[in-house]
Amino acid sequence: MISYESIEELVRLADESGRRISEICLEDQAKETGLPAEEVFARMEKSFDVMLESAAWGQEPGRRSTSGLTGGEGSAMMRYADKGNSLMGTFMSRAVATALAVSDCNAAMGRIVATPTAGSCGILPGCLIPMYKEKGCSRRDVVLSVFTAGAFGMVIANKASIAGAQGGCQAECGSAAGMAAAALVELQGGTPKMCADALGIAIVNQMGLVCDPVAGLVEIPCIKRNAAGVVTAFSAADMALAGIELKIPADECIGAMKEVGDQMAASLKETAAGGLAATKTGKFLRQQVFGKNKDD
């Protein structure tokens, strides 16, 4: 059985067996659950189907969050992408739009896959759905890559945290960006070591990111951070595929992220007491949703 205590373990096991990280993880999960590998795969495929549904549902006209603070970001970005003159290019703009749409779905109380959390639910779909729909990656390979993302996410959860309340948004969007980067590298035929480097590069580029939800809701700035996480994931994956090494092992990056999270003030860890939540406009928006309280 895999312990999921280090990225090094996953890379070593994949290298020794000459297989992808996703393949050894699928085999391990089959042993862990006592189910046939194809049934475990089928369950993950259903999760990918939910991602596809979330992206479509979040882009429907008039879709708004319960608070009324957000909605329509994904559809607006997709319309912009389809014009074909975006600065990032059509593919990346559609990837960002997908992430925004899934996050819109979450804010509007739709069904999503927490990857690894609801607050970061747009990043992995934002990376994988365009690879499936526009880059021609097979459905099976895309679903398999989710196992790689999940395996790396389990290591992060064991060694650090995936909760904004414990480690700040670096633990949510940072972890998701790293997981997605590793999945992208595998989809592009990269080595297990490249997957690890991509994870580490994404994490260090999100390190220190605070969790400061306005009005305590997973909307502002969370939805836009999902979009940024997609861009981080793609750039990290491309650097790793180009042979650019991180130099700092991925496991040490995860350890550093935990240390930073432990040192972060409580006001910056999902309490809505600092950062953007504590700005004049942030407080106004909270009052708009919930009314005034004695601290206002």
Give residue-wise pLDDT tens across range 260-277. 999 999 999 999 999 999
Look at residue 293 in the predicted model and tell me its pLDDT: 72
Separation of alpha carbons 248 and 269, rounded Å: 26
**pLDDT confidence band for 292 (50 / 70 / 90):** confident
Separation of alpha carbons 222 and 99, rounded Å: 11
pTM value? Answer: 0.97
Separation of alpha carbons 107 and 71, rounded Å: 8
269 three-state secondary structure: strand
Closest CA to 156 of 202, 123, 224, 191: 202
**Does position 295 have pLDDT exceeding 90, yes or no?**
no
CA angle at residue 176 from 174 to 181, to 5 degrees?
95
Look at residue 294 in the predicted model and tell me its pLDDT: 57
pLDDT digits (tens, 9 = 90+) for 87-123: 999 999 999 999 999 999 999 999 999 999 999 999 9
Share of the chain above pLDDT 70, in %: 99
**C-alpha distances in Å from residue 89, one per residue of 13, 18, 76, 151, 256:** 37, 36, 16, 31, 34
Scan for tokens 């759905």, then name that residue: 129
| DSSP per-residue letters across 25-92 | HHHHHHHHHTS-HHHHHHHHHHHHHHHHHHHHHHTSTT---TTSS---HHHHHHHHHHTT--SS-HHH
Separation of alpha carbons 296 and 294, rounded Å: 6
Q: Mean pLDDT over residues 159-187, rounded? A: 98
pLDDT digits (tens, 9 = 90+) for 184-241: 999 999 999 999 999 999 999 999 999 999 999 999 999 999 999 999 999 999 999 9
